[in-house]
Amino acid sequence: MSRASLVALLRERLGLDPGSLGERVLDQAFEEARRNLGLADDAALLARVLLDPLAFRELVARIVVPETWFFRAAEQFADLARFALGEARARRPLRVLSLPCASGEEAWSAAITLLDAGLAPGDFEVLGIDVAPALVARAERGEYLLQALRGREAVPVWLEREGDRLTVAGAARRGVRFRVGNVLDPLLFGSGERFDVVFCRNLLIYLTAEARQRTLAAIATVLEPPALVLAGQAEVLPTMAPGFVPLAHGSPLSYRYAPAVEYAALAPPPAVVALTPRLRQRAAPVAAASSAAAPASAPAATPSADDPLAEAQRLADRGELELARKACLERLAREAQDRAALYLLGLVESGRGDLVAAETAFARVLYLDPHHVEALEHRAACAERLGRPLEASQLRARAARQRKSGGPS
């Protein structure tokens, strides 16, 4: 029972698909965590990790697969150099994200590739993010054993070698940063953060289908299209999310991201859409958890043929959810920054029963406006129905605090 709860907790917090690791690996990880924390059994481990973030961190350290090396899948670094000197030559600094970065070899390899391609240290910024703090600390140190090159013959000039040790040289360190972060955290990225290139390699294979979609949705939000996205083995992005097209003449694991609707330059517009009675009824499974959330008395937008948002609302009122969804997307194609359209899209998606899409839309509203109480509550209801009760209660607590402080909604 406790073991099942530990597995459920990892699924909820990390998005981990337990089947990707197997029973034996999980049991070993639980055993090591128990031993390191001095706990007798899984029940004690569960109680501890639920209450103590440091203990949860210890468990995460035992669970994650930290394997990485310099220039892993070298042809993708060639894709990066081509992109930097070709399609993205006007983008300086070129912004590169390594998520997850593990112990940093991928992020440093990106920086070294760009330096080798002739970019100056100030011409690019590389950010590495990983959920495991110990790995991020190693990444920041920039010190490795020779075997981190995995048989690559020439040691790049940007790595100083002493015996079997390598240290990232000072010149390569400029513009490279690391931080701890969970890809499922809706506040993973700051509001101004954007990237031209993302390495998202060898994480998706360990995640549940839902966590994969959330990860790609989060990444899509911060990409500046057309962007270069590098995936790992068996991570076929077009089968997981729209907008990813295999790179012509590149590695089969490299993609160009240029969707029809861009969510890149989001910023909050003022309007808040009224949730109409008909839609509220259709969205009931989600809205029920937050009946106080719907601003029923807020004035409805006036329908207008030129205004897809008003049209979307009118269609939603009539229960025409497919058409309402289309109208929302039309509005977003015209004005990707429309918080009200994203919020209505979330309601419509939940009315259609697509909770993952609804959650993604509410997450985007919250990305624009972290104080949006209704979006927080709808998102909590989605999380609950998608089997993540802990996250749901955290979101509800946040919404309650927000209501209490009388902050903007």
Ligand X SMILES: C[S@@+](CC[C@H](N)C(=O)[O-])C[C@H]1O[C@@H](n2cnc3c(N)ncnc32)[C@H](O)[C@@H]1O
Which parts of this chain interact with ligand X (CB under 6 A)? 14-15, 64-68, 72, 100, 102, 106, 130-132, 135, 182-184, 201-203, 232
Q: In whole angstroms, how close is the CB of 132 to ligand X at the nearest point?
A: 4
Q: In whole angstroms, how close is the CB of 148 to ligand X at the nearest point?
A: 11
Q: In whole angstroms, how close is the CB of 195 to ligand X at the nearest point?
A: 15
Q: In whole angstroms, how close is the CB of 133 to ligand X at the nearest point?
A: 10
Which residue number, 69 or 362, has a Cβ lying nearer to ligand X?
Answer: 69
Q: In whole angstroms, how close is the CB of 292 to ligand X at the nearest point?
A: 32
Strand blocks (E) in 252-311: 254-257
Which residue number, 130 or 196, has a Cβ lying nearer to ligand X?
Answer: 130
CA-closest candidate to residue 112, choices 77, 149, 142: 77
Which residue number, 135 or 392, has a Cβ lying nearer to ligand X?
Answer: 135
Which residue number, 62 or 331, has a Cβ lying nearer to ligand X?
Answer: 62
Which residue number, 201 or 398, has a Cβ lying nearer to ligand X?
Answer: 201
Taking phi over 0 as left and psi of -120 to 50 as alpha, with beta for the rest, 151 belongs to: left
Which residue number, 202 or 350, has a Cβ lying nearer to ligand X?
Answer: 202
Strands 165-168 and 159-162: antiparallel
302 CB burial (10 A radius; 0-12, 13-18, 19+): exposed
Q: In whole angstroms, how close is the CB of 99 to ligand X at the nearest point?
A: 7
Sheet holding 143-145, edge to edge: 143-145, 165-168, 159-162
Cα within 13 Å of Cα(130), Cβ side? 33
Which residue number, 71 or 343, has a Cβ lying nearer to ligand X?
Answer: 71
DSSP designation for 304: B
Give 148-192 as a DSSP string. GGTT-SSPPTTEEEETTEEEE-HHHHTTEEEEE--TT-TTSS-TT
Q: In whole angstroms, how close is the CB of 257 to ligand X at the nearest point?
A: 17
Rounded CA-CA distance 73/96 in Å is: 17
Which residue number, 14 or 227, has a Cβ lying nearer to ligand X?
Answer: 14
Q: In whole angstroms, how close is the CB of 105 to ligand X at the nearest point?
A: 7
CA angle 337, 409, 405 (to 5 degrees): 140
CA-closest candidate to residue 100, choices 287, 5, 192, 235: 235
Cross-strand pairs, 254: 230
